[in-house]
Copies of this chain bind each other. A is one copy, B any other.
């Protein structure tokens, strides 16, 4: 294989400039106000794919935001790698906590990133990691070093639950046919500790509304005499966990995959410092389900978190009011064998059942996805392992992630192929938070590693035939 490192070094500046241009477009899929920018981002991604050497690029309309499809078919008899990524980003608020504007990327050195990191919303999740694949393709086409066929599917609704991806895949199964799916939308343990994500949590995201009196009331004249929707909402949410932080929704744990003591022991080998973890978050203690370690709590155990809550007067000063309505956005992270639709139903049924007289409750399911596990003996995992060994000089650690990429299980079901999650981000990259960033070193290391995966996978796949 030709020297990719030399190629990357030579084009570093251009690669960064191209990524920065992409990061400048505020493609916030959750907020309709940015509709135009989301569409513009799709156009930009299509352009980059053409330039990188795809011989077919399409902007595929969906009922929602378009999916950018690109392909380079060398030979029908060669294996095909399908790259998935997303060009939409999380909303940037709270804006006042950003040190620089979220859509005006800046490169700054940090302790962890002496070569600098790109600070911008989407820098790591997922524009930066998605773009590594585009540049890896450029290297392979420019240097006649592409060993197989490649397809790209870059969507614009990942941050809002990939609402139309299923719709698209169902209509394009032949077009999307592949031997393995490659995604970089996760992280690795550390720069000197490469890891491959083998498990993802599922998700059920709901919004709840509690309605009391038909109008806002004076808290003096009515206080204590009518159900206050905010007080009731806090009572209802608080009751969703017991004193051991187990979730109290009947049936919630029925299908939870219980790991063996041996598996848990293997997990516990991953390097982890509770002290540094707490220090990084400035907390005096972790908090979670009794009987499980921090790494288990956020990977192999299901959870329930309120992502947003609002009601009543939240402006400056004081207002003595009893609100008519209170709201919360609640998400549950699920583990293998929990079905997200079933869990959403269980939540709805339970939450409605615990509403006291005097209020009315609405539960609106938002979106969700199934949990997923990749066997470490699969061809794709084996190829990825070898790729990391070539560029990091180390065997990567298989890791369960607490995050969700709902569509991974969808891929397995609809396209019936395995997904390999090669993530190059770090926990400290603050994805979904103010000051999201992505290390320049990580960006280049990703571009460097990906072509090795293509070669290793093609070798293994051809050997299999």
Interface residues of A (CB under 8 A from B): 29-32, 90-91, 93-94, 97, 159-161, 187, 201, 203, 205, 207, 212-228, 230-231, 233-235, 237-239, 241, 281-289, 294-295, 297-298, 301-303, 305-324, 326-329, 331, 333, 356-359, 366-367, 401-404, 427, 430-435
Among B301, B307, B430, point to the contact of A319 (Cβ < 8 A): B307
**A313 engages B308 (CB within 8 Å):** yes
| Contact status A404-B93, CB under 8 Å | no
With both chains docked as a complex, state the minimum distance between the C-beta of A169 and any C-beta of chain B, in angstroms. Answer: 21
Which single member of B97, B213, B234 contacts A233 (CB below 8 Å)? Answer: B234
Determine if A331 and B320 form an interchain contact, defined as CB atoms under 8 angstroms apart: yes
CB distance from A53 to the nearest CB of B (A): 33
Query: Out of B310, B311, B401, which one reaches A220, CB within 8 Å?
Result: B401
Q: Is the CB of A213 within 8 A of B281?
A: yes
Give CA–CA (A241, B236) in the complex, Å: 13
Given A307-B323, A319-B432, output 8 extra A-B contacts at Cβ < 8 Å.
Answer: A91-B313, A201-B220, A228-B306, A234-B235, A238-B239, A307-B319, A310-B311, A321-B433
How near does chain B come to A210, taking the closest CB pair, in angstroms?
11
Decide if B307 touches A219 in the complex (CB within 8 Å): yes
Describe A's contact surface by its main secondary structure: loop
Assess whether A283 is in contact with B223, with CB atoms less than 8 Å apart: no
B306-A309 in contact (CB<8A): no
- Closest-CB distance, A286 to chain B (whole angstroms): 6
Asked whether, in the complex, the Cβ of B316 is within 8 Å of the Cβ of A31, the reply is yes
A–B Cβ pairs within 8 angstroms, 9 of them: A30-B318, A94-B216, A97-B324, A215-B433, A216-B432, A216-B434, A222-B298, A223-B333, A234-B238
Q: CB-nearest residue of chain B relative to A230?
A: B306
Q: Are A305 and B432 in contact (CB under 8 A)?
A: no
Contact of A216 (CB < 8 Å), options: B310, B356, B433: B433
- Shortest Cβ gap from A290 to chain B (Å): 12
Contact of A221 among B207, B213, B402 (CB under 8 A): B402
Cα–Cα, bound, A306→B306 (Å) = 18
Q: Which residue of B lies closest to A235 (CB)?
A: B238
Residues of B within 8 A of A333 (CB): 219-220, 223-224
Q: Are B358 and A283 in contact (CB under 8 A)?
A: yes
> Across the interface, do B430 and A215 meet the contact criterion of CB distance under 8 Å?
yes
Q: Measured between alpha carbons, how far is A404 from B218 in the docked complex, in Å?
A: 10
A320 and B225 within 8 A (CB):
no
Known contacts A30-B317, A215-B430; A358 and B286 CB within 8 A of each other:
yes
Closest partner residue, chain B, to A357 (CB atom): B285
| Cβ–Cβ contact A285 & B358, under 8 A | yes
A45 to B194, CA, bound (A): 73
Q: In the complex the two chains form, what is the Cα distance from A355 to B343 in whole Å?
A: 30
Alpha-carbon distance A136/B258, docked complex (angstroms): 78
Q: Report Cα–Cα, A322/B327, bound state, in Å.
A: 16
Residues from chain B with a CB closer than 8 A to the CB of A321 are 90, 307-308, 432-433
Min C-beta distance of A335 to chain B, whole Å: 10
A307 with B322: CB separation less than 8 A? yes
Which residues of chain B come closer than 8 Å to A214, judged between CB atoms? 281-283
Residues from chain B with Cβ under 8 Å of A295 in the complex: 225
